[in-house]
Amino acid sequence: MNPDACLVSRNTIKNYVLKIHMKEKNMLKEEFRKIKNRICLTSNLWTSLTGEGYIALTAHYVDTN
């Protein structure tokens, strides 16, 4: 183990990930507010070999650029 490595708790990591998630979510909301045209949503559902269910949501749109 690297003696210079800084160990952090899972709660610290959790809070950091949630903070990044909220920042990205707000940026995406602002981007969608600028769009004057339609947004096309596509969803996909599947189950893994271990039986876990997943869903994916994809948005296609033309931005201002």
Percent of the chain with pLDDT over 70: 98
Report the alpha-carbon distance of residue 59 to residue 4 in Å, rounded: 42
For residue 58, give the H/E element and its range: strand 53-60
Average pLDDT, stretch 15-23?
Answer: 97
In the chain, what are the domain boundaries? 10-60
End-to-end CA distance of the chain: 47
Average pLDDT over residues 33-47: 89
pTM higher than 0.75 for the full model?
A: no
